[in-house]
C-alpha cells in the first residue's frame, strides 16, 4: 500500500474516527485506527465495539485532489500515536507506505516516521449496507427525535434494556420510546421511504450511542440514511458512517402503559409552566426529593408549590387556557417535569391526568407526535 | 442503676477545626496552608464570611465578617462558596468514625459531637489520640478534643487548645484552669448574661462558682442554678445519640465475638443491626434515603461504603437488604472484626415521598383505595379518628 | 491446535464437546474444572473457534479464517475473556462483562464468554454471572474455568455442564515442562512428584529443590561408602537444608523414587528410570542391594513419611531412618 494524502484532510478524517476510539478497550486491536485506500479514496475506521465510525475521504472532491493512490491496501496503526503525529507533520501532504510485514513509513517534508502497523485482517467486520433495507430521515429531525427521547433512558444497570431507546418502524411510521420506569418519552415520525414495506420492532439503541450520534449529525435538511441489521444499526451521512451495537433483550411493551382516557385535562403555555416549576423547585432541590405539587384552583389558574421544611415554601400561580374535568392535586418530581417540558417543541401543551396516583401524559396542544408520561410521587 | 451512677463518667467532646474550610482543603490539597474563607456569595461583595482557615484568622479575619472587609485585611484571600452536600457527607463520615468506638455518640451540630466513653474499656486518652489521628489521616480533617467527666467540661476543654489539641479537664483542675476565666468564656453564657452577671460583681467563672446557688436562682431562675452548677463542674446531662438534628444519621455498629468469614454469621449481624436502626428510625419518625455500611477487617483496615436509595426506607428488611448488597459488593473475603450500618439522609416521615414506577404503579392502587377510605372517615369523624397502624410501636 | 491434539490430554472432555457440536446441542454454560496445565483454556478457545468459525469442516474449525485467527490473537470482538488481574477478578472487569451480557454481539448474534480462575470472583461477581446463566438470550456459550471447583457457587454449578479435566499423565507433563525450558532430568523428577503443572513449576523454582536432588545422591552414596559418618553429619548436611516439614517430605519422596529406580535397574527396566542422568550410579548401588532389602528400605521411607505427618521430631525421624537404611 502506498499513497499520498492532503494532511488537513487526513487530520479531519482521523479526528472524526478518534471519537469512537477508547484506550480502555479489552480488545487490543481496537486501540488502532484502520485505513483502507483504493482508487476511489480512503476509508478510516475507529471503534470501541459499542460504536464504530467510518470516515471516507474521496480521492477527488470538487475538482481538488485529496489523495493519490499508488498501490491500494489496508493497515491498522496505533490511534494515539498516529493522530498526534499527523497533527504535527510539517508539510501539506503526507506520504504513507506500508511494507509486507505492516511496517509503515510516513513521510512529510523533511520528516519521516516509521511505525509498526497491525494486520488489517484482525479488525472487526462491520455490517455492510444493503440498499433495499434503507430508510432516511432529515438530519435536523433525527437530532430533534434523539433530543426528545434520549433524556428519559435509565441510567441504572438493573434493567439494561431500559438504558436504550426503543425504535420501531411500522406502516411508514417510526416510533422512538425511552423510559427509566419513572417517566417515558415517545416520539413518532412519518418516514418518506421508497421501501414502505420496511418494518422492524424492538431495535433498542443505547442512549450513549444516540448522544454520540447527535454530535456527528449536522443540523441541516440533508438526509441521513439508516440501516438496521440483527445486531447493529447504521447511520450514513455524506462521508461518515456511524454504527452502534444494539441492546439485547425485549423492551417492555409500553403502548399499553399509556393511559387512554383522562379525568382532568389542562391546556396551558409550555414556557409559563416550565418557569413556574423551575422557580418552585429552587427550594425543592435543597430538600431531598425535588418534589413540587400541582393543584388546580379554577378554570383559569393552577398553583405550583413546594415546601422544604428547613428552608421555606414557594407558591406559584400559573394561568391556564382551559381545564376540563375533575379538580386535582398531584405531586411529582420537578426534574422529570422540566425535562419533559423542555422536550416539547410547541408553545401550548395539553396535560391529561387520570388520578393523583396514576401516570399523567403531556402532549402538544394539537397532535400527538410527542408524548411525555410522568409517574407522580406519593407520600411515604 | 445506682451502681452505674457511681461509675466515673468519661465524656469526649470532639470539635472539628474550621470545618467547612478544612473540608475544602481535604478535597483540594492546593488550598492547604493558604488563607481561605468560605463565603455565602463569592461574587457579591456583600457576602459574609461563614468560616475561614487559621491562616486567614491570622490576618484578623473572623466570621461573620463581610467579605469586602475580609478582602481588605488580606488581599490574596481565597474565597469559596459553601458546598453543603460535601460538608454533610464529610460530617456523616466523621460521625461514622466516632461510632466505631461507641454507639453513644451525640452530634451537636454538623461539626461537633459528644461521646460517652464511660462504658468503654480502653484508655480514653488513647481513644482521643486515635480519633484525632484517624480524623486527620482518613478524612484529612483537623480536630480538637476535650476529655472530661461531663459534657460541659468536655466542651470547655476542647475549646482550650486549637487546632489539633487534646485537653483533659478533671474535676480537681477546675479551680486552677476554669475559675480564672471570664464568665463570658463559659459555654452557654452570651453577651447579655455576661453583662447581667457583671452587674452582680461576677466577672470570672470562679466568682460565679463561689456565689450562693440560692441567690443565683433568685436572680436568674432555673438557668441561674445551671450556670452555678456548671461553674462548679457539675453537669448531669446524658449523651443522647437520638437528640434531634436533621444532619444526623442513625447508625449502629458491633464488634464481633471473633473474627469471621462466615456469611451466615455476618448476615445475622446485619439483620440485628438493621433491626436496631429501624427501631430508632421509628422512634424519631424519620425515613432514610441512603444506607452506609462499615467493614473493619481483622487487620483493622476499615472501609465505609454507602449507596443512595431510589426511595426512602424505614423497614428493617429493606435496611438489611441494602446493607447486605453493599457488603457483598465490597467485601474482599478477608475475616471481619466489626460491622456497622448507618441510615443517612434522614427525612421526617411525613415529608417523605416515594416515586411511583411505571411498571408497578398498579400495585399502589390498593394503597390508594385505603387512603381514600381513611380520608372519608377523617372527613366524617375528624383527623384523629383513625391512623395507619405502622405509626405505633409494634411488638413482635 | 486441533481437537486431535487436545484429545491426547483430555479424551473424555473432547469426546463430550465434539459430540455436542456434531448434534448441535452445545450447552449454554460449561464449567471446565481441573488442575493447572490440563488444557482448560486451550479447550475453551478451541470450542470458541468451533462455535464461531464460518469455514469449519464438521466439528473442526479451519484455523485459517479471520474468526479463527482473531480468537487466537485475542482480537475477536465477540469472544470475551476475563482473567484475574492480580489477586482477584476486579469489579470493573465484571462490569465490562455485565455490559456485554446486555448487548448484541458485534459481528453476529453469537458470543463466547470465558472466565479464567472463576473461583477468584467475588460473590457479587459470581451472582452477576449467574444472572446471565439464568436468562440466556442470544446463542452464547460461557466457559467457566477453575482449578478449585469446590469454591464455585452451587447455583453456578447447577446451571452449567461440569466437565472435569483429568490430571496430566507424567509423560505429557514432562513434555510440557521441557518445552518450557526445564531440563529433562529435572522435569522427570518433578513430574514424579506432582501432576499439576503450576505446582511443578513452583517446585522447580525453589533453590533448595536442586540441592535436594544432590542430597539424595549424597546420602545414598554416603550410606554405601561411609555409613557411620552419615549419622554424624546428618544435622549439618541434611536437616539444615530442609527446614520446613514439606521440604523434608519432598526429600523423602525423592529418596523413595531413588530406591524405586534401583528396583527398576534390578528388574532390567531402565526406561522407567526417573533419575535418568544417574544410571551409572544407580547400577553400582543396585549391585549391593537385594530386591528384598530394597523393598524393606522403601517401606522404611514410607513409614518415615507417615511419622513426619504425625509431627515426629525431624532429627529423631531421620536418624532412625538412616539406621534402617544402613543395615544390610
Q: What integer pLDDT is reported at residue B2 of this predicted model?
A: 41
Does the distance separating the beta carbons of A331 and B356 come in below 8 Å?
A: no
Give the pairing type, strands A60-61 and A64-65. Answer: antiparallel
| Closest residue in chain C to residue A161, using alpha carbons only | C102
How many B/C residue pairs have CB atoms within 8 Å?
A: 13
User: How far is C69 from chain A, CA to nearest CA, in Å?
Assistant: 8
List, as own/partner pairs, every contact residues A287-291 make where C-beta atoms lie below 8 angstroms and the sequence separation is at least 24, other chains included.
Answer: A287/A311, A287/B347, A287/B351, A288/B289, A288/B345, A288/B347, A289/A333, A289/A377, A289/B347, A289/B352, A289/B353, A290/A333, A290/A334, A290/A335, A291/A331, A291/A332, A291/A333, A291/A334, A291/A377, A291/B353
- 177-206 of A, contacting B, C-beta below 8 A: 179, 181-184
Q: Name the more confident of C57 and B85.
A: C57
The C-alpha cell that represents C215 in the structure block = 542430597
Beta carbons within 8 Å of C326's beta carbon, 6+ residues apart: C223, C227, C230, C231
- What distance in Å separates the CA atoms of residue A181 and residue A30, rounded to the nearest whole number? 35
Mutation for B interface: C84, C87, C124, most B CBs within 10 A? C124
Asked whether the beta carbons of B143 and B127 are under 8 A apart, the reply is no
- 67-126 of C, contacting B, C-beta below 8 A: 88, 91, 122-124
- What distance in Å separates the CA atoms of residue B339 and residue C118, rounded to the nearest whole number? 27
Confidence of residue B334 (pLDDT cuts 50, 70, 90): confident
Helix H or strand E encompassing B106: strand B105-109
User: How far is C103 from chain A, CA to nearest CA, in Å?
Assistant: 4
Helix H or strand E encompassing B56: helix B54-57
Q: State the sign of the Cα–Cα–Cα–Cα dihedral B255, B258, B260, B265.
A: negative
- Which of B24, B55, B100, B112 is flagged as catalytic? B112
Of A49, A121, A161, the CB nearest to C77: A49
Give the pairing type, strands A111-116 and A103-108. Answer: antiparallel
- pLDDT at position B36 over 80: yes
Q: What integer pLDDT is reported at residue B4 of this predicted model?
A: 46
For residue A6, what are the β-bridge partners?
A93
Does the distance separating the beta carbons of C107 and A231 come in below 8 Å?
A: yes
Asked if C131 reaches chain B (Cβ–Cβ under 8 Å), the answer is: no
Q: What integer pLDDT is reported at residue C88 of this predicted model?
A: 76
SS3 B13: strand
User: How far is B337 from chain C, CA to nearest CA, in Å?
Assistant: 19
Q: What integer pLDDT is reported at residue A193 of this predicted model?
A: 64
Helix, strand, coil shares of chain B as percentages rounded to 5?
45, 25, 30
Q: State the sign of the Cα–Cα–Cα–Cα dihedral A299, A304, A307, A313.
A: negative
The C-alpha cell that represents B199 in the structure block = 452587674
| Closest residue in chain A to residue B347, using alpha carbons only | A288
Give the pairing type, strands A103-108 and A93-98. Answer: antiparallel
- List, for residues A79-100, the tens digit of each pLDDT value: 999 999 999 999 999 999 999 8
Q: What integer pLDDT is reported at residue B387 of this predicted model?
A: 53
Please state the ipTM of this predicted complex: 0.87
Q: What is the pLDDT along chain C (328 residues), one digit of tens a residue?
A: 689 989 988 999 999 999 999 998 899 899 999 988 889 999 999 999 999 999 988 899 998 999 999 999 999 999 999 988 877 787 778 778 888 888 999 998 899 999 999 988 877 777 777 777 777 667 889 999 998 888 888 888 988 999 999 988 888 888 888 888 888 888 888 888 888 888 888 888 888 888 888 888 888 888 888 877 887 787 777 777 887 888 888 899 999 999 999 999 998 888 888 998 888 889 888 888 888 889 999 999 999 988 887 778 888 888 889 888 887 5
Average pLDDT over residues B202-207: 92
Does the distance separating the beta carbons of A357 and B345 come in below 8 Å?
A: no
Does the distance separating the beta carbons of B331 and C123 come in below 8 Å?
A: yes
Does the distance separating the beta carbons of C88 and B329 come in below 8 Å?
A: no
The C-alpha cell that represents C188 in the structure block = 522427570
Of A26, A121, A124, the CB nearest to C107: A124
User: How far is A243 from chain C, CA to nearest CA, in Å?
Assistant: 10
Least Cα distance to B237 among B281, B286, B187, B194 occurs for: B187
Of A183, A333, A358, the CB nearest to B361: A358
Dihedral angle computed from the Cα positions of residues C5, C7, C9 and C14, in that order, rounded to the nearest 10 degrees: 130
Does the distance separating the beta carbons of A331 and B289 come in below 8 Å?
A: no
What's the pTM?
Answer: 0.69
**Which residues of chain A are under the pLDDT cut of 70?**
193-196, 283-289, 308-312
CB contacts of B332 in chain C (<8 Å) are 88, 122
Is B112 noted as a catalytic residue in this protein?
yes
Neighbours of chain B (3+ CB pairs under 8 A): A, C
Amino acid at each position: 500500500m502506498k499513497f499520498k494524502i492532503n494532511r488537513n484532510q487526513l487530520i479531519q478524517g482521523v479526528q472524526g474516527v478518534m471519537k469512537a476510539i477508547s484506550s480502555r478497550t479489552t480488545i487490543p486491536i481496537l486501540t488502532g485506527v484502520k485505513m483502507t485506500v483504493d482508487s476511489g479514496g480512503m476509508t478510516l475506521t475507529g471503534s470501541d465495539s459499542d460504536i464504530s465510525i467510518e470516515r471516507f475521504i474521496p480521492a477527488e472532491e470538487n475538482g481538488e485532489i485529496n489523495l493519490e493512490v499508488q498501490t491500494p491496501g489496508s493497515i491498522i496503526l496505533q490511534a494515539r500515536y498516529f493522530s498526534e503525529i499527523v497533527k504535527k507533520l510539517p508539510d501539506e501532504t503526507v506520504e504513507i507506505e506500508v511494507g509486507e510485514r505492516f511496517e509503515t513509513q510516513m513521510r512529510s517534508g523533511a520528516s519521516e516516521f516509521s511505525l509498526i502497523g497491525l494486520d488489517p485482517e484482525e479488525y472487526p467486520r462491520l455490517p455492510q449496507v444493503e440498499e433495499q433495507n434503507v430508510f432516511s430521515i432529515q438530519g435536523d429531525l433525527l437530532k430533534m427525535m434523539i433530543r426528545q427521547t434520549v433524556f428519559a433512558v435509565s441510567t441504572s444497570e438493573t434493567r439494561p434494556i431500559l438504558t436504550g431507546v426503543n425504535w420501531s418502524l411500522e406502516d411508514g411510521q417510526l416510533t422512538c420510546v425511552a423510559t427509566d420506569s419513572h417517566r417515558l418519552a415517545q416520539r413518532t415520525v412519518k418516514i418518506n421511504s421508497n421501501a414502505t414495506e420496511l418494518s422492524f420492532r424492538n431495535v433498542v439503541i443505547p442512549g450513549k450511542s444516540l448522544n454520540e450520534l447527535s454530535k456527528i449529525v449536522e443540523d441541516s435538511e440533508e438526509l441521513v440514511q439508516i440501516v438496521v441489521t440483527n445486531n447493529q444499526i447504521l447511520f450514513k451521512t455524506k462521508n461518515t458512517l456511524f454504527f452502534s451495537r444494539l441492546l439485547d433483550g425485549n423492551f417492555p411493551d409500553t403502548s399499553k402503559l399509556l393511559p387512554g382516557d383522562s379525568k382532568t385535562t389542562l391546556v396551558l403555555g409550555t414556557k409559563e409552566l416550565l418557569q413556574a416549576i423551575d422557580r418552585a423547585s429552587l427550594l425543592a432541590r435543597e430538600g431531598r426529593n425535588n418534589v413540587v405539587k400541582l393543584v388546580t384552583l379554577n378554570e383559569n389558574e393552577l398553583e405550583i408549590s413546594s415546601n422544604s421544611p428547613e428552608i421555606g415554601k414557594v407558591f406559584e400561580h400559573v394561568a391556564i387556557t382551559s381545564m376540563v374535568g375533575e379538580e386535582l392535586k398531584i405531586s411529582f418530581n420537578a426534574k422529570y417535569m422540566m425535562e419533559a417540558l423542555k422536550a416539547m417543541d410547541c408553545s401550548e401543551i395539553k396535560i391529561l391526568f387520570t388520578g393523583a396516583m396514576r401516570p399523567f401524559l403531556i402532549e402538544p396542544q394539537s397532535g400527538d407526535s410527542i408524548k411525555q408520561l410522568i409517574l407522580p410521587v406519593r407520600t411515604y | 442503676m445506682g451502681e452505674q451512677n457511681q461509675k466515673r463518667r468519661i465524656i469526649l467532646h470532639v470539635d472539628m477545626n474550621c470545618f467547612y474550610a478544612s473540608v475544602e482543603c481535604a478535597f483540594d490539597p492546593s488550598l492547604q496552608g493558604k488563607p481561605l474563607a468560605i463565603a455565602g456569595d463569592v461574587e457579591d461583595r456583600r457576602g459574609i464570611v461563614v468560616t475561614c482557615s487559621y491562616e486567614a484568622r491570622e490576618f484578623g479575619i473572623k466570621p461573620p465578617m463581610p467579605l469586602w472587609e475580609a478582602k481588605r485585611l488580606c488581599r490574596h484571600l481565597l474565597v469559596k462558596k459553601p458546598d453543603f452536600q460535601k460538608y454533610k457527607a464529610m460530617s456523616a463520615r466523621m460521625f461514622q468514625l466516632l461510632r466505631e468506638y461507641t454507639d453513644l455518640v451525640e452530634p451537636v451540630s454538623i461539626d461537633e459531637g459528644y461521646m460517652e466513653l464511660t462504658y468503654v474499656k480502653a484508655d480514653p486518652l488513647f481513644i482521643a489520640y486515635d480519633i484525632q489521628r484517624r480524623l486527620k489521616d482518613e478524612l484529612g480533617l483537623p480536630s480538637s478534643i476535650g476529655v472530661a467527666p461531663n459534657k460541659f467540661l468536655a466542651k470547655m476543654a476542647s475549646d482550650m487548645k486549637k487546632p489539633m489539641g487534646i485537653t483533659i479537664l478533671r474535676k480537681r483542675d477546675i479551680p486552677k484552669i476554669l475559675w480564672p476565666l471570664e464568665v463570658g468564656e463559659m459555654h452557654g453564657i452570651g453577651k447579655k448574661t455576661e453583662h447581667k452577671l457583671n452587674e452582680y460583681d461576677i466577672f470570672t467563672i470562679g466568682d460565679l462558682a463561689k456565689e450562693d446557688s440560692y441567690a443565683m436562682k433568685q436572680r436568674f431562675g432555673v438557668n441561674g442554678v445551671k450556670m452555678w452548677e456548671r461553674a462548679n463542674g457539675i453537669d448531669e446531662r446524658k449523651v443522647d445519640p437520638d437528640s434531634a438534628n436533621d444532619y444526623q444519621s442513625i447508625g449502629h455498629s458491633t464488634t464481633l465475638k471473633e473474627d469471621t468469614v462466615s456469611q451466615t454469621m455476618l448476615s445475622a449481624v446485619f439483620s440485628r443491626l438493621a433491626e436496631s436502626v429501624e427501631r430508632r428510625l421509628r422512634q424519631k419518625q424519620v425515613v432514610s434515603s441512603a444506607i452506609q455500611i462499615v467493614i473493619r477487617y481483622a487487620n483493622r483496615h476499615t472501609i465505609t461504603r454507602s449507596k443512595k436509595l431510589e426511595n426512602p426506607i424505614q423497614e428493617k428488611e429493606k435496611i438489611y437488604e441494602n446493607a447486605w448488597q453493599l457488603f457483598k459488593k465490597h467485601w474482599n473475603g478477608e475475616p471481619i472484626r466489626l460491622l456497622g450500618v448507618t441510615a443517612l439522609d434522614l427525612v421526617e416521615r411525613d415529608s417523605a415521598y416515594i416515586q411511583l414506577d411505571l411498571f408497578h404503579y398498579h400495585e399502589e392502587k390498593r394503597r390508594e383505595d385505603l387512603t381514600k377510605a381513611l380520608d372519608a372517615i377523617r372527613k366524617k369523624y375528624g383527623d384523629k379518628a383513625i391512623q395507619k397502624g405502622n405509626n405505633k410501636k409494634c411488638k413482635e | 491446535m486441533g481437537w486431535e491434539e487436545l484429545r491426547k490430554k483430555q479424551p473424555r472432555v473432547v469426546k463430550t464437546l465434539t459430540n455436542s457440536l456434531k448434534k448441535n446441542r452445545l450447552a449454554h454454560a460449561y464449567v471446565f474444572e481441573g488442575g493447572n496445565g490440563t488444557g482448560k483454556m486451550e479447550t475453551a478457545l478451541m470450542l470458541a473457534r468451533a462455535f464461531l468459525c464460518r469455514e469449519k469442516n464438521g466439528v473442526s474449525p479451519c484455523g485459517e479464517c479471520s474468526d479463527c485467527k482473531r480468537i487466537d490473537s485475542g482480537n475477536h470482538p465477540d469472544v470475551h475473556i476475563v482473567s484475574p488481574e492480580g489477586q482477584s477478578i476486579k469489579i470493573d472487569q465484571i462490569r465490562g462483562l455485565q455490559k456485554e451480557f446486555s448487548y448484541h454481539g458485534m459481528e453476529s448474534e453469537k458470543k463466547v464468554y470465558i472466565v479464567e480462575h472463576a473461583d477468584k470472583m467475588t460473590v457479587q461477581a459470581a451472582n452477576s454471572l449467574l444472572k446471565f446463566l439464568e436468562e440466556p438470550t442470544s446463542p452464547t456459550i460461557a466457559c467457566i474455568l477453575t482449578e478449585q471447583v469446590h469454591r464455585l457457587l452451587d447455583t453456578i454449578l447447577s446451571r452449567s455442564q461440569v466437565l472435569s479435566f483429568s490430571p496430566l499423565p507424567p509423560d505429557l507433563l514432562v513434555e510440557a515442562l521441557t518445552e518450557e525450558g526445564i531440563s529433562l532430568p529435572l522435569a522427570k523428577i518433578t513430574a514424579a512428584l506432582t501432576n499439576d503443572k503450576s505446582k511443578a513449576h513452583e517446585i522447580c523454582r525453589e533453590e533448595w529443590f536442586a540441592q535436594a536432588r544432590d542430597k539424595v545422591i549424597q546420602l545414598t552414596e554416603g550410606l554405601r561408602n561411609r555409613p557411620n559418618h552419615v549419622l554424624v553429619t546428618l544435622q549439618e548436611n541434611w536437616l539444615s537444608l530442609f527446614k520446613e516439614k514439606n521440604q523434608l517430605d519432598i526429600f523423602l519422596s525423592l529418596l523413595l523414587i531413588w530406591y524405586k529406580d534401583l528396583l527398576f535397574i534390578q528388574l532390567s527396566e531402565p526406561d522407567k528410570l526417573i533419575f535418568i542422568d544417574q544410571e551409572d550410579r544407580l547400577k553400582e548401588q543396585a549391585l549391593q542391594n537385594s530386591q528384598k532389602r530394597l523393598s524393606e528400605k522403601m517401606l522404611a521411607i514410607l513409614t518415615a513419611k507417615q511419622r513426619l505427618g504425625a509431627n515426629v521430631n525431624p532429627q529423631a525421624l531421620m536418624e532412625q531412618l538412616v539406621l534402617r537404611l544402613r543395615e544390610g
